Every structure is written in structure tokens, then in C-alpha cells.
Amino acid sequence: SPALRRSLGAAGVRVEVASDDTPLVEEPAVMPLLEALRVVVNLDNDDPAHPDHVGVDRAEALLSSPLAGLDAGDVRVLARQLRARDRVGAAAQDRSPTPSPVLLREALLDPDRTAGLDGRGASRTTALSRLLHTTRRRLDEGGTTEEVLWELWAGTDWPARLHRSVQAGGGAARMAHRDLDAVCALFEVAARTEEQRGHTSAAAFLDTLIDLMQLTRPLLDLGFQASFNVRFSATISPFG
């Protein structure tokens, strides 16, 4: 949407979208956003046999992605906290304890599961879970795929972390610039899909993304100069 493009505002890092040998859908910065979008679309999908069901592997991958910003140690600490709480409940209910991967999945899908837990892992998981549900409401209210992707991106501190990497210079800056290029290219694909096809659902966008990338590849192969500036500090991140 034009309003969204204007909000990719004026705070300092110019990005240029140019082609290379890596398909956009496989860019490290794009994959977490697409997975998060898939989770948002499938928050109410209770069929484990469905290919888009949010299973334990998908949930743990999202917790370990830049959107949550958790490292392996953070995830282990959170899993221990969840297990300790679950053991109390299991004893009271005379049931077997719930496996850690299932507890982590439940924590991602339901922010109440981490209520009362301290630490970085719990706070960031709670924030991401709330963001997923907020974004789902935006989707249900008619938000476009571009708007929903933006909300997932801007609702975390990932943009700020990339900004700091850019300012640090060196190899980290080069990698951060590449990530920003890829994210802005994804926004452009989503926006142009909306313009060319009318209101396309997020689920349809995900299902046909490879075809969409083929349609937009000529644009990228021309070295399209995306006059996007990424907004880093205009909002306060919910992540600590």
C-alpha cells in the first residue's frame, strides 16, 4: 500500500535490490518472514497432517529465527522453565509430563503459556506470540500481505539489530545490507502482486510464491533501485 511504502521512512539505510544466484525465497532474511506469515495464516490449523500445520519443528525454528532473536541457550533455559512448570501440573493431574518440543510450540502459539516466567527466552517468546496473534487479527480485518509482512518485521527489534550491524561496518555490515535488500525486495514483490492481481490472500501468496518470483524476476534482474529507507527507531520494540 502507498501508506506502507511511505512508512518505510527516512532514517538512514538505503537498500538496493539486485539479482544474484540466490532465489529471493531462499534468502536467509526472507525465509523467517515467510515462515512467520505461514504461522499467522495457520494459527487455527489443528490438523497435524496438513503441510502448513504449525508443528514442533516449525515452532522451534521460528523461536530461533531473527524475529525472536533467541539463541540455543535461551531456548534451553525456556524449555527447562516450561518443563518445571509442567511437571507440577502433570503430578496434580496424574498424567505424563509433556515433551519439551511440544511445550515450546504451545508457548509460541499461546502467550499465556509463558506468564510468570522470567528471563530473555520467556519475554521474547511472549512478545513474538503476541505479535503473531496481533498480525492475525490484522489479516482477518482485511490487511494486505504487504501490510502483514511489514507488521511482522516492524514488530520486532530485528530491524534495529541490523541497523547496529550496518553502523558497525565490516563483514557484519555487508551481511546486514544483504538482509535489508532481501526484505525490501520481498515487500516489493508483495506490493506488486497486490497491484497486479488485486487483493491476494496471504495463504494464496505463500502457495504461489515461486510463480510470483518468476513473474517479478525481470524487475529484479534489471537491478531495480528500491528507494526504501528502513525505519528502525520510530517505534518502541516490544522485545527486550
Q: Give the tens place of pLDDT for each residue, 142-153.
A: 999 999 999 999
Structural contact between residues 150 and 109, judged by C-beta atoms closer than 8 angstroms: no
Q: How confident is the model at residue 76, as a pLDDT? A: 96
AA identity, residue 88: V
Structural contact between residues 78 and 104, judged by C-beta atoms closer than 8 angstroms: yes
CB atoms within 10 A of CB 234: 11
Q: Give the tens place of pLDDT for each residue, 60-91.
A: 999 999 999 999 999 999 999 999 999 999 99
Report the predicted TM-score, pTM, of the whole model to 2 decimal places.
Answer: 0.79
Predicted confidence band of residue 214 (pLDDT cuts 50, 70, 90): low
Q: How confident is the model at residue 100, as a pLDDT? A: 97
Q: How confident is the model at residue 18, as a pLDDT? A: 43
CB atoms within 10 A of CB 138: 17
Q: How confident is the model at residue 191, as a pLDDT? A: 85
The average pLDDT across 112-134 equals 97
Q: How confident is the model at residue 213, as a pLDDT? A: 55
Instruction: Compute the mean pLDDT over every residue in the chain, rounded to the nearest whole number.
Output: 81
Structural contact between residues 150 and 2, judged by C-beta atoms closer than 8 angstroms: no
Could you give the percent of the chain with pLDDT greater than 70?
A: 76
The average pLDDT across 103-114 equals 97
- Count Cα atoms within 13 angstroms, Cβ side, for 196: 10
